[in-house]
């Protein structure tokens, strides 16, 4: 038995990258996990890895679609009961000059990173209030704590996620609900692989040079692993972290914002 045995946790963007690592860690700790994302095949593979329907449920939904989120939480609730832990991880990144950041790009990044976090939190909080227990962890970014050239939409969305984190933490502080953010630097996932390809295409640099550009700000000089991010998330879910609330925890090898 662990503190998370049979607790119902819902992870967004759970089919790959950081979300998959968090889902695996939750499953290993005995939680029942609802896996939400856009791609049924990867979610179903993850659910099978966690022990199938008694332990994990794959639910396809776009987090930026209010009706789809509501339906997804309905399915999760019918299967595993009220959602007690929510990991808002689904996200997209885009790099562009500010003058090339058109409203389509801006709206897409805001819709997924910010509105998705809002919609899923709004769906989960009533369950948490009813249960008298809740933990929300938002996967923000170090880009939520400082600016970044050519990343205006992404940076703005992640700053806003941190504002939402701080506000919900205060609003529910006396209801045994904590709301925190983790803020990784560059993590070894598809988002970073896409960034490396983008840098190579735009600058003609080699793969190693592009990687070096991304790891230069991390004092440890390397990419972070998804498992390291999952480990910080799991700590925030432990009873010993109950008084940690409204925080933005940087996971970036000593990088100071």
Dig out the tokens for 212 from the structure.
């070096």
Tell me which of 118, 154, 172, 186 is the catalytic residue.
Answer: 154
Residue 154 among the catalytic residues: yes
Please, which residue, 91 or 253, has the CB nearer to ligand NAP?
Answer: 91
Phi, psi at residue 91, to the nearest 5°?
Answer: -165, 160
CB of 143 to ligand NAP, least distance (A): 7
The answer to whether 224 and 192 are in contact (CB under 8 A) is: no
Please, which residue, 19 or 134, has the CB nearer to ligand NAP?
Answer: 19
CB atoms within 10 A of CB 27: 22
Spell out the alpha helix ranges (H) of the chain: 17-28, 40-49, 66-80, 103-109, 116-131, 152-171, 190-203, 207-215, 226-236
Q: For residues 203 and 218, what is the distance between their CA atoms, to the nearest angstrom?
A: 22
> Binding residues for ligand NAP, per CB under 6 A?
12-13, 15-19, 37-39, 42, 62-64, 89-93, 112, 139, 141, 184, 186-187, 189-192
CB of 256 to ligand NAP, least distance (A): 16
Q: For residues 245 and 180, what is the distance between their CA atoms, to the nearest angstrom?
A: 6
Please, which residue, 141 or 245, has the CB nearer to ligand NAP?
Answer: 141
Please, which residue, 38 or 79, has the CB nearer to ligand NAP?
Answer: 38
CA 98 from centroid of its chain's CA atoms: 25
CB of 18 to ligand NAP, least distance (A): 4
CB of 68 to ligand NAP, least distance (A): 8
Sheet holding 32-37, edge to edge: 56-60, 32-37, 8-12, 85-88, 134-139, 177-184, 248-251
Task: Encode 191-224: b = buried (16+ Cβ within 10 Å), e = exposed.
Answer: bbeebbebbeeeeeeeeeebbeebbeebeeeebb
CB of 129 to ligand NAP, least distance (A): 25
Please, which residue, 16 or 77, has the CB nearer to ligand NAP?
Answer: 16
**Could you give the residue numbers annotated as active site?**
154
């Amino acid at each position: 038995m662990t503190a998370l045995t049979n607790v119902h946790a819902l992870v967004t963007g759970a089919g790959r990258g950081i979300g998959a690592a968090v889902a695996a860690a939750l499953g290993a700790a005995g939680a029942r996990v609802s896996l939400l994302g856009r791609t049924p095949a990867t979610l179903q593979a993850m659910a099978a890895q966690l022990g199938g329907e008694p332990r994990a449920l794959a639910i396809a939904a776009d987090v930026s679609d209010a009706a789809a989120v509501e339906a997804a939480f309905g399915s999760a609730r019918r299967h595993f009961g009220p959602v007690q832990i929510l990991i808002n991880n689904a996200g997209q990144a885009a790099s562009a000059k500010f003058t090339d950041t058109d409203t389509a790009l801006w709206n897409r990044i805001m819709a997924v990173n910010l509105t998705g976090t809002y919609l899923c939190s709004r769906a989960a909080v009533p369950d948490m209030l009813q249960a008298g227990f809740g933990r929300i962890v938002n996967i923000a970014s170090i880009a939520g704590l400082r600016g970044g050239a050519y990343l205006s939409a992404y940076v703005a969305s992640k700053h806003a996620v941190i504002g939402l984190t701080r506000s919900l933490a205060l609003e529910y502080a006396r209801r045994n609900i904590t709301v925190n953010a983790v803020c990784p630097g560059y993590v070894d996932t598809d988002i970073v692989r896409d960034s490396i390809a983008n840098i190579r295409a735009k600058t003609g640099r080699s793969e190693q040079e592009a990687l070096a550009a991304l790891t230069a700000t991390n004092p440890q000089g390397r990419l972070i692993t998804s498992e390291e991010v999952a480990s910080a998330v799991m700590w925030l879910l432990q009873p010993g972290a109950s008084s940690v609330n409204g925080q933005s925890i940087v996971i970036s090898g000593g990088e100071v914002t």
